[in-house]
Structure 1
Amino acid sequence: MSMKSEKLASPPGAAENGGVNLPETSGLLQAKKERKKVTLHQLRLMHSAGEKIAMLTCYDATFARVLNNAGVDAILVGDSLGMVVQGRDSTVRVSLDEMLYHTRCVARGNTHAWIVGDLPFGSYHQSVDQAMRSASALMQSGAHMVKLEGGGWTVDTVRFMSERGVSVCSHLGLTPQSVHALGGYRVQGRDSLAAQTLALQAQELADAGAAMMVLELIPSALAAKVTAALPIPVIGIGAGAQCSGQVLVLHDMLGVADGRAPKFARDFVNDSDGLDRGIESAVRRYVAAVKDGSFPVESVHTY
């Protein structure tokens, strides 16, 4: 019996793929491919347009990849690692060398998110020259922006660094590095004088060149006022839903933090209503909730 040589029909897409029938690219992979790196310009545009910014803390390369895949806009390599990674009772004992190590780890796993690195306690307090050296080391380790706590005395430091090309994020309200001086983890800016002082400090820092601001543990009305007054993105943590965006400690968001979670946190793994409880799915739910405004909830997570 003679055998007839027949040309097999080429599957769809074979010509484009060199004759190999590759599976179609999934929507998730396509989204990853099309997603651009987040820049400070993009964050400013999001703030101006009222698009919420989703930020989470991160301390290693593996979770940096998870956060990238889930669409987080910004990563904070926070000195909160002293508590959630090292098991300490505050952030005060975290060193600059430790921050540099964790920033390098996150930078290796990051592909798209804007990286903010914390300047730890004692690394910027002595002089503007010390602050500049610490900021330079943090940025050379992979941070795109550095964050420092406090107003008033930090204005000159913010101005000095921003004039020399360092993107600075200021941090007002509860400043964990000063937790002992503040008398513990307490809501700040409750009375009218404290609220006026915080609003004034925020404006001074923005005028000095701060490109972003974190407001932590303050009344939502005060945070809304500050956010509306400033031309820069304002990221809230325990500061209500009217900020430009939200940040949470990753371990709080995943429900794995040791001890009682703060009121402003939400466990996005265990409140998933029967949905996929994987970590990346939890991060996706967090990002979606920040973007659509369903987190934080005024009656639950704010003061």
Structure 2
Amino acid sequence: MAGPMVSAGVFSLIGAFLSDKYGRQKSLLLSSSCYMLGNVVCGSAFNRETLFIGRLLIGCGIGIASANTAVYVAECSPINIRGRLIGTSQPFLTIGILIGIIISALFSSDLNNGWRYMWSLGAVLPSIQFIGTLFCPESPRWFIQQSRKSEARESLMRIRNGRNVEEELKEIEDNFKEVQESIEKIGLFLSNLCLATTFLMADRYSPWINTTDGVFSNPCTKYSQCAECIRNPDCGFCYEDTSDVIGGDCLRISATPNLVSEQGSCISAFTLSKYSMIWAYDYCPVSFAWIAVVGLAFFLMFYAQGMGTLPWTINVVGLVS
């Protein structure tokens, strides 16, 4: 029993990616194929390992179907019956389980091959679904998502028999734009939140200035934190190379070059290497810098692919034309 549960959980996530990448119809065809192949493998299994592989394939079909069925029905059904069509999936699921139990009971008297008949009959309905799905149109909303408006119109023509196609197509486009804008705003919010958190934490938890490294003529001794130290263009932060930097020295930057300090433990590359010191003249070492990287990743994922580049694209196209 563990086989389909594991593969169903994994492929419910993979199924969402397949649905967005290759379409709802193709994903449902793949789901039906996994059902068919899994039942055939189980019905013809000659050992426990083969039976387990068949169960894994059935779980793959369950996971992909769970990520696509309701989406496909919702995107293709008319708005006046959409809720009812989506809601009927659960009653039919329980009815299917009941039918499976009844069929299993009918073959339970055959102790040798009854279980093979049970699994083999399980491939019949997925085969019917596979053939039926071949004649179903792709989701028009998926076509709009892929910027394939002409194919979306053709799909709607098949589904609606040519009625109110343009109005619904415009509605789908408007809804898709709203969703894209909402996702973009969420991404920008997360990006700004990560960056703001990093800057705030860097200021509040900046490493302390512990000593002057024995240099009493050091003009940078008035600072108490690294963040204050590096704000002065003449000062830099010298610290020991450890996993958790708590404190260090604020030292004057050497005139040539600024890669070392004028005095103290970071005065040369030799002392840096000998005492395992690091010279930071324009940054403070913190353990949470990865939060800023995550924030920049959110920016690139959600903004750079949307309105971030669109104005420049429009300008370039307009100039070229």
TM-score, normalization by structure 1 = 0.23
Greater gyration radius: 2
Q: RCO higher in 1 or 2 (8 Å CA, sep ≥ 6)?
A: 1
- Give the structure with the higher percent strand: 1
- Give the structure with the higher percent helix: 2
TM-score, normalization by structure 2 = 0.22
